[in-house]
Amino acid sequence: MKRLLSIIIAASASLTMVAQGKQVTVTNPSNFSRISEPIVIDIDERHEYLSAVVSCNGVTIDCQLDDTDGNGINDQLCFLTSLEKKEKKTFNVTLFKHYADKAAEPKVYAQMMMTNKKVKSNNKQDLYISSLTVENGTNPYWMLHHHGPAFENEMVAYRIYFDERQTVDIYGKYRKGLELKDTQFYPDAKQKADGYGDDVLWVGQTFGLGALRGWADGKPQMLLDVNKRTLSVMSAGPLRTIVKVEDKGWNPYYPEKCKQEQRVDMTTIYTLYAGRRDCMVDMKLKGKTDGLHLATGIINVKNSEEYCNKGLRGCWGTDWPVSEKDSAGHKRETVGLGICIPAKNVVEVLPANKDNYPYVVAPTEAAIHYAITFASDNETFDGSYHNASDFFNYLKQWRKRLEDKVKIEVKDMYM
């Protein structure tokens, strides 16, 4: 009888784990409304869920499961919502152990590829990869098409350089839509005539848009001494892209040499959600980080106007988006750039120099979580910006949204 009871209990437990329910309550604490607010919850890896359904008031909305640690098992659920000021919403989530019958329409996209020298066109490359690791001293910058991973939503696109700079570069759009699959960051003449976007920023050796660097000898340092450098596309949609940069065995004291035990592992994750122009940056360190300082900031676009308020900094300016030798077929581009760093991480706001609007920053609990954003004057869609005043006002509101986080409560529901 006991054996039979055990079998029944085990069978019941197994059945309940085929699908698991959760109730997610989301509250907007702010006196302003929000659109495309990302709601992210952790899920139990032990059950190896493969799909999910999210609904609110009986209406099903798109969602996304992600494997954020790369072990092959989904560990996070993400969906997006809009909230009026002080509004509370309740969502019902059901997790399944089978794949969804129908995939959601993608609102984001990411790509990473090797350069195929047999393909002469810059927008028809075909050697797609999801990750690449190189040893110390190896620079794959010219081996990778568009020099590293690129990712986009319908409003904006970014790319990260796969070299010691690890610079964030940007691609501006005229109209909303996913373009990188067609242009691969390099639109041809016909695509430009048809209204496709393009690279809108020359970054050179600068921070570009919020790249993290070392800080030693009183100045920023490139990440030159790294045992192993890995860049990966962890997720390509449909609601968010996740790109991971791993610097294992980094010497944070460069150009000074260091012992092996002084090296640290730095992991930086860039997350771009649908419907937002900003990108979340989450950096974590492993190793001895006491007293460690880093540098970041934004490029000083030529003749740009600056806005600065502690951890919030922005500029609006106009310059060529490529080097002088490559300027044929390009026009000067006007952009607004922004970075928002928590005050607790800001060690010093350095004055602008010819290259950057720089910061010295320090991790708290071996991490820094900040955000970057930009706007192109080419944009013709709603919510675009075309002068410094409007863009800086957007930055101020953006900071409020980042700091005044929505409240998320999750309850397990037994099915």
358-390 pLDDT, tens per residue? 999 999 999 999 999 999 999 999 999 999 999
Over range 393-406, report the average pLDDT.
98
The single residue listed with the structure tokens 């399944």 is 96
Comparing 50-59, 95-104, 148-157, 262-271, the range with the smallest average pLDDT is 95-104
Does the pLDDT at position 6 exceed 70? no
Say what the pLDDT of residue 327 is: 65
Say what the pLDDT of residue 5 is: 42
Q: Does 294 lie in the same domain as 197?
A: yes
Say what the pLDDT of residue 288 is: 93
Domain assignment of residue 254, yes or no: yes
Q: Does 371 lie in the same domain as 240?
A: yes
Residue type, 193: A
Q: Does 113 lie in the same domain as 91?
A: no
Confidence of residue 9 (pLDDT cuts 50, 70, 90): very low
Q: Does 112 lie in the same domain as 100?
A: no
Domain assignment of residue 357, yes or no: yes
Confidence of residue 119 (pLDDT cuts 50, 70, 90): very high
373 CB-side CA count, 13 A: 27
Q: Does 127 lie in the same domain as 89?
A: no
Say what the pLDDT of residue 100 is: 87
- For residue 228, give the H/E element and its range: strand 226-236
**How do residues 230-239 score in pLDDT, each as one tens digit?**
999 999 999 9
Q: Does 274 lie in the same domain as 218?
A: yes
Q: Based on C-alpha coordinates, what's the Rg of the chain?
A: 23
Say what the pLDDT of residue 123 is: 96
Residue 220, classed as helix, strand or coil, is strand
Over range 243-271, report the average pLDDT.
96
Phi then psi for 187, rounded to 5 degrees?
-65, 140
Distances in whole angstroms, Cα of residue 401 to Cα of each of 41, 61, 223, 357, 385: 19, 23, 32, 23, 18
Percentage of the chain modeled with pLDDT above 90: 91
Bridge partners, 360 (sequence order): 295, 348
Domain assignment of residue 400, yes or no: no
- Structure letter (DSSP) for residue 353: -
Average pLDDT, the chain: 94
Nearest to 146 by CA among 127, 174, 118: 127
Comparing 12-26, 37-51, 275-289, the range with the smallest average pLDDT is 12-26
Phi-psi region of 318 (alpha: psi -120 to 50; beta: other; left: phi over 0): beta
Q: Give me 253's structure tokens.
A: 């004291």
Terminal Cα distance for the chain, rounded: 26
Over range 198-227, report the average pLDDT.
97
The single residue listed with the structure tokens 């209204």 is 195
Say what the pLDDT of residue 141 is: 92
DSSP for 16-33, written as a single string: HTTEEEEEEEEE--SSS-
Percentage of the chain modeled with pLDDT above 70: 94
Confidence of residue 14 (pLDDT cuts 50, 70, 90): very low
Q: Give me 363's structure tokens.
A: 């991790």
Could you give the number of structural domains in the chain?
Answer: 2
The Cα 116–Cα 193 span in angstroms is 26
Domain assignment of residue 257, yes or no: yes
Q: Does 137 lie in the same domain as 113?
A: yes
Q: Which residues contact 127 (CB under 8 A, 6 or more apart)?
A: 113, 114, 115, 116, 145
Domain assignment of residue 2, yes or no: no
Confidence of residue 414 (pLDDT cuts 50, 70, 90): confident
Confidence of residue 103 (pLDDT cuts 50, 70, 90): confident
Q: Does 227 lie in the same domain as 203?
A: yes
Residue 190, classed as helix, strand or coil, is helix
Cα–chain center distance at 218: 29
Say what the pLDDT of residue 8 is: 37
Domain assignment of residue 8, yes or no: no
Say what the pLDDT of residue 325 is: 64
Confidence of residue 109 (pLDDT cuts 50, 70, 90): very high
Over range 330-348, report the average pLDDT.
97
Does the pLDDT at position 309 exceed 60? yes
The Cα 230–Cα 129 span in angstroms is 12
Q: Does 138 lie in the same domain as 96?
A: no
- For residue 340, give the H/E element and its range: strand 333-340
Domain assignment of residue 1, yes or no: no
The structure's pTM equals 0.94
Does the pLDDT at position 13 exceed 60? no
Cα–chain center distance at 77: 16
Domain assignment of residue 10, yes or no: no
Over range 155-176, report the average pLDDT.
98
Q: Are 182 and 168 in contact (CB under 8 A)?
A: no
The Cα 371–Cα 210 span in angstroms is 8
Q: Are 370 and 210 in contact (CB under 8 A)?
A: yes
Residue type, 169: D
Say what the pLDDT of residue 415 is: 63
Range of the domain at 88: 19-104+406-413
Q: Does 174 lie in the same domain as 36?
A: no
**How do residues 180-191 score in pLDDT, each as one tens digit?**
999 999 999 999
**How do residues 288-308 score in pLDDT, each as one tens digit?**
999 999 999 999 999 899 999
Comparing 100-104, 115-119, 140-144, 287-291, the range with the smallest average pLDDT is 100-104
The Cα 157–Cα 331 span in angstroms is 19
Does the pLDDT at position 59 exceed 50? yes
